[in-house]
Amino acid sequence: MSLGRRPAIPDLAHLARGIRARERAVIARAITLIESRRSDHQKAARRLVQELLPLTGKAIRVGITGAPGVGKSTTIDALGSFLTDKGYKVAVLAVDPSSARSGGSILADKTRMPRLASDANAFVRPSPSSGTLGGVAAKTRESMLICEAAGYDVVMVETIGTGQSETMVADMTDFFLVLMLPGAGDELQGLKKGVIEIADMLAINKTDGDNVKRAKAAAAEYRAALHILNPRSLNWSPPVVTYSALTEVGIAQLWDVILDHRERMSKAGELDTRRREQQVKWMWAMLEDRVRERLKSDPALRAKLPRIEGAVAAGRMSPATAVDEIAAALGV
């Protein structure tokens, strides 16, 4: 094979068989295919996901966010290990904001989640944010479907906790868990209202040692804050709980709340409704990505953009007129 030859497209039938057999190396290769920017890889990935679609939709999808230092990775490692001990198969999709060029630091995630990384019933995969809105990997949804097709019962999506990533993860999961630190005070003042509004549970980590009193006080303040906000669902009032990822006290309670939420939302028909809405949002998000890729990849369009941007910046062209010109060049 010549050095300039591009790697061949993987055998999709082989990938599908390996995914069904829950072969972690094959699952990893399938996700690498999904994350590829090559157009032929993207077409192959779409065919693979379409073929596996009947096997998806059965997993419990949990989004987890929190500010850096709150203990997301330690929490996921503890909760995931708790679940595998109970017989669940757990997949973790951890968005790595620093890995846009490297494609994800697998070693870093093995360090952050040591037990899950070595657990035969778990699969941990970092995904590069690649500059997508909010730092959430553009292909996280497809990766989630691959994990579901492989038979994982619980899929956790970890967001970096910055920008609009929280909203994006909430729009692809069934349950959205927001992790907090003890000592509300200034933190409560700086907490984004939007994050609380989409949370299905607030959990205060590091409730151990000297932090116990502060954590209980913080929980009371967060509960008071939740009372003045409109709940995300009429069928669910987000609870505020305390726990310690380090000692694992309260980890079981986190899972009990997630199961309670799933039961209530399923009975009310809201789980199915939410997932249908998420599918439509996913479609539009993918269409927007496709249009952006067209802008970047089409030489004629790319050549026009600096002139149009310059005209808008200088006030010679209105933004609306600029959009019309770009849309006409796209043929839309």
Q: What is the pTM of this model?
A: 0.86
Q: Cβ–Cβ contacts within 10 Å for residue 61, how many?
A: 23
Retrieve residue 212's tokens: 């116990």
Q: 122-128 and 60-65 as β-strands: parallel, antiparallel, unpaired?
A: unpaired
In DSSP notation, 41-74 reads HHHHHHHHHHHHGGG-S-SEEEEEE--TTS-HHH
Identify which of 63, 98, 96, 67 has the alpha carbon closest to the alpha carbon of residue 79: 63
Per-residue pLDDT of the chain (332 residues; tens, 9 = 90+): 445 566 677 899 999 999 999 999 999 999 999 988 888 998 999 999 999 999 999 999 999 988 878 899 999 999 999 999 999 999 999 875 544 444 444 445 556 789 999 999 999 998 665 555 433 556 889 999 999 999 999 999 998 765 567 788 888 999 999 998 887 555 554 455 677 788 999 999 999 988 899 899 888 888 888 888 777 888 999 999 999 999 999 999 999 999 999 999 999 999 999 999 998 988 888 888 778 878 878 888 888 899 999 999 999 999 999 999 888 888 77
Buried b (16+ CB within 10 A) or exposed e, 203-241: bbbbbbeebeebbeebbeebeebbeeeeebeeebebbbb
Phi-psi region of 57 (alpha: psi -120 to 50; beta: other; left: phi over 0): left
The CATH number of the structural domain formed by 56-267 is 3.40.50.300
What does the pLDDT read at residue 230?
Answer: 77
Rg (alpha carbons) of the chain, rounded to whole number: 22
Retrieve residue 208's tokens: 């151990």
The domain segmentation of the chain, as residue ranges, is 56-267, 281-330
Half-sphere exposure of 126 (CA within 13 A, CB side): 24
